[in-house]
Amino acid sequence: MSKECKICGKKPMVGCNVSHAHNVNKRRFNPNLQRVRAVINGQAKRIDVCTNCIKSGHVVKAP
- Is residue 27 scored above 70 in pLDDT? yes
Q: How far apart are CA 31 and CA 8, in angstroms?
A: 11
Question: What is the number of other CB atoms lying within 10 angstroms of the CB of residue 38?
Answer: 20
Domain count, the chain: 1
Looking at residue 30, which CATH number applies to its domain? 2.30.170.40
What does the mean pLDDT of the chain come to? 95
| Mean pLDDT of the region 4-11 | 96
Measured CA distances, 61 to 9, 13, 19, 22, 52 (Å)? 18, 27, 41, 45, 14
pLDDT tens figures, 33-57: 999 999 999 999 999 999 999 999 9
Tell me which amino acid residue 15 is.
Answer: G
For 39, the domain range is: 1-63
What does the angle CA 4 – CA 5 – CA 7 come to, to the nearest 5 degrees?
A: 145
